[in-house]
Chain A
Amino acid sequence: MKLWNLFLAFFRVGILGYGGGPAAIPLVHKEVVEKCKWMSDDDFSDVLALGNALPGPIATKLAGYIGWRVSGLLGMVVSVLATIVPTIILMILLLTVLNAYREKPWVQGMSKAVVPVVGVMLAVMTWDFIAKSTSGLGKVWGIALIVISFVVLELIGIHPAILIGILIVGALLSPGKRKERKVKAS
């Protein structure tokens, strides 16, 4: 019964959450805290803070952890699958149909028209990340890091994994006092 409820809760989250994982957070909160009362508000914000401290998609971290807490390993598997499987299947079906008609000129037209729209979505996301960078680190540090990242990634051509790895190590090794000041400055 609990497993079925977990499935339903995260199925709804997966199928209603437009805009990627972060858009699903309020939906998860609604199901888990308000509807099913599996955890308190405070517990939920703890879980969210935990999830944000780790990399990777947030929706599946929430689903997996909450499922695990409510009913163990099986709960975790059921919740994660309910979150992701329905939309992955839809995605594969739609793109497979599209690929079958790849040669048709109208399909090629569709494919061409979508490229600039996605460009706009990415540009908006870029702006979002730039705004958050400067508000998180302060204008000077934010812009400096953007410029440095651009030089390292694009002009020198270093793999993003190496740059991000160095940034992660830098954050973890940074001496206590300085970083506190930096965070407060934000």
Chain B
Amino acid sequence: MIYWKIFLAFFIPGVLGYGGGPASIPLVENEVVDRYHWLSVNEFSEVLALGNALPGPIATKMSGYIGYEVGGVFGAFVGVFATIAPSLILMIALLALLMKFKNSPKVKLLTNLVRPAIAVLLGIMAYDFFKDSYHGIGWLQTLAIVVVSFLLLQKWKVHPAYVIGAALVYGAIFLG
């Protein structure tokens, strides 16, 4: 039963996440935090932070870890399988058909229509994270970390792994 839930929780983001792995982040959060309550917003942010600090595709790192947390090694396997198998199987099975439509305007329209919805989901998630941080460490600390990490990431293009590393050190020393 738990494996079926894990399968569903990652199958839905895998099938609906148009725009690569990052597009499925808010869909995964919706299932894992809001629906099944396997993780709190705080725990999900740790998973995401570490996932962003490590290399490799983000969607499978999330499903692998969360699957493992909820259902052990087999849970990890089910989570990863549900994330990648459906679209991979479709890709190989429908190859001939897809080849014909790969440049069709309908396919492009598909991504274009789904993108605004993903933008909204990501925006809501970002807002949730800021709200959560405000409740945890107050607005002054939150604002300071937001401004500094934004400058580091966007203006000075520091690698996310270093920014997250620095935040971890800062938190261990000053927020503990």
Binding site for B on A (CB under 8 A): 14-22, 24, 46, 49-61, 64-65, 68, 76, 80, 83-84, 86-88, 90-92, 94-95, 98, 104-126, 129-130, 132-133, 136-137, 142, 145-146, 148-150, 153-154, 159-161, 163-165, 167-168, 170-172, 174, 176, 179-180, 182-183, 186
Q: Does B150 contact A (CB under 8 A)?
A: yes
Contact B109 A116 (CB under 8 A): no
Binding site for A on B (CB under 8 A): 12, 14-27, 30, 41-42, 45-52, 54-61, 64-65, 68-69, 76, 80, 83-84, 86-88, 90-92, 95, 98-99, 101-103, 105-126, 129-130, 132-133, 136-137, 141-142, 145-146, 149-150, 153-154, 159-161, 163-164, 167-176
Query: Contacts A65-B92, A86-B56 known; A80 to B84 CB distance under 8 Å?
Result: yes
Query: Contacts A91-B51, A129-B119, A174-B109 known; A84 to B16 CB distance under 8 Å?
Result: no
Contact A95 B50 (CB under 8 A): yes
Q: Which residues of A contact B114 (CB under 8 A)?
A: 164, 167-168
Q: Which residues of B contact A92 (CB under 8 A)?
A: 64-65, 68, 76
When chains A and B are docked, how far (Å) is the Cα of A114 from the Cα of B124? 18
Q: Which of B57, B98, B106, B173 contacts A59 (CB 8 A)?
A: B57
Q: Is the contact region of chain A dominated by helix, strand, or loop, or is it mixed?
A: helix
Q: Which residues of B contact A133 (CB under 8 A)?
A: 112, 115-116, 119
Contact B61 A123 (CB under 8 A): no
- Residue from B26, B52, B57, B110 with most neighbouring chain A CB atoms (10 Å): B57
Q: Which residues of A contact B60 (CB under 8 A)?
A: 57, 60, 83-84, 87-88
Q: Which of A142, A159, A171 contacts B109 (CB 8 A)?
A: A171
**Whole-angstrom distance between the Cβ of B93 and the nearest chain A Cβ:** 11
Query: Contacts A51-B91, A117-B167, A118-B52 known; A123 to B105 CB distance under 8 Å?
Result: no
Contact B133 A112 (CB under 8 A): yes
**Whole-angstrom distance between the Cβ of A85 and the nearest chain B Cβ:** 8
Q: Which residues of A contact B141 (CB under 8 A)?
A: 116
Contact A18 B108 (CB under 8 A): no
